[in-house]
Amino acid sequence: MVLDFKKTLFCFLVTIITACSSNEISPSTSNLNNNISNQEIESSSIKSKYGKSRYLCVSLPTGGNSEIIKVQNLETKELTSLPVPGAVQGMSENLDNNIIYVNAKSPDDNNSYSLFKLDLKARQISRILSFSQLGLKPTDFTVDHDKVYVTGKRGGVGTFYGNDLIKNEWFAVANNISPGKIELGFKENTFHVISYDDSYLTRTIVDVTLKQITDRQTIPHSIPFGNNFFIPSPHGSFVYVLHQLKDSFIPYAFNVKQHTVKQFPEVKTNGGILYSAIVSNDGKHLFTNVDSEIYPYQLVDGDKLIALPKITLPTPESRNMAMEADNTTLIVTHDTGTNLSIVSFSSDYSSYTVNPMYIGGSSNQIYLF
């Protein structure tokens, strides 16, 4: 059965509340008027093994020492809503076993991080390990079958560790690493760790079977110090840095293989905070988020950015974004109001619609698995 994503998402509304709000915002429609290049890039073959996303996961702050995680099964429409202690920092999945993993920062200690297992079948959440017991402050983690891999700093030194979730045993993979964001490697049993600081962009390739670093690529740059946000493409073949100014931002694109960095024209904004950015799963589009405005780019050959018309959202204070596995829908959380914003694109990205979806409170982290 082919899943109608838009209809299924709006079933989320029906599941959470018993009646629709009377002041629902009307959908808006726009035309992007862009020409999509047929040029394939290195990472464009990455696709979800399921073709479509199966779960929508959203965290909602409670105003206390916990957050509520709401998970919608996009096929069965079943909703799971469970509290997690602390603030959600990231999520990963083992969909074969209907499990979502959550990294949460303790409400009592900013340096204490724990991994929770959300069993969607049993509708239970349990704390399964502590990153902090290892002395590790994680920057990112991922789950691969029965093992979790995490990068961060331990005793001030960058490191990459694994944990056998069956045996509950930690094992060192690599030390003296620049911690950052984890991307899948090109080869089996490898991960790419992407880090960015004031002087360098680094991609470190880690082999978890050999338990060693097999390659490291470092690119110096002269991007000004400040409120800089970086986001890697799939595999980290390209990395995009957004340098925020008072009422504008300047995008940069790194080509890791060629060791180059390009600067693109400054973009005037509404003066809001540049809160997040996301690259589509096929590596062909970049979306930057400034308050209630999304600034999209078409990515050509990975390191060429073509600006598309901005998308204005009806709800202010937009925060984080997630992309459907087939890249047809972008979902945005908001720090105000009670809606998510659902941006649905036509198959050729020539037009889009924006619809609100009631979620029952302000929302923060969002993931589509």
User: For residue 110, what are the contacts with CB-CB under 8 A and spacing of at least 6?
Assistant: none
Q: What residue ranges define each of the domains in the chain, with the CATH number in brackets? A: 5-54+225-368 (2.130.10.10)
Q: Which strand (E) or helix (H) includes residue 315? A: none
Question: Measured between alpha carbons, how far is 134 from 156 in angstroms, rounded to an integer?
Answer: 13
- Summarised one tens digit per residue, pLDDT across range 132-185 is 999 999 999 999 999 999 999 999 999 999 999 999 999 999 999 999 999 999
- Summarised one tens digit per residue, pLDDT across range 269-315 is 998 889 999 999 999 999 999 999 999 999 999 999 999 999 999 99
Question: Measured between alpha carbons, how far is 334 from 273 in angstroms, rounded to an integer?
Answer: 13
pLDDT tops 80 at residue 80:
yes
pTM attached to this predicted model: 0.85
Residue-averaged pLDDT of the chain: 87
Average pLDDT for 329-338: 91
For 32-166, strand residue ranges (E) read: 55-61, 66-73, 79-85, 87-94, 99-105, 113-119, 124-130, 136-144, 147-154, 157-164
Contact yes or no for 312/345 (Cβ under 8 A): no
Tokens read off for 192: 């790419």
Question: Which among 90, 99, 103 is positioned nearest to 123, based on CA atoms?
Answer: 99
Tell me the percentage of the chain whose pLDDT exceeds 90. Answer: 73
Instruction: State the pLDDT confidence band at 30, using cuts at 50, 70 and 90.
Output: low
Residues forming beta bridges with residue 306, ordered by sequence position? 298
Contact yes or no for 158/151 (Cβ under 8 A): yes
Instruction: State the pLDDT confidence band at 46, using cuts at 50, 70 and 90.
Output: very low
Maximum Cα interatomic distance, the chain, rounded to a whole number of Å:
59
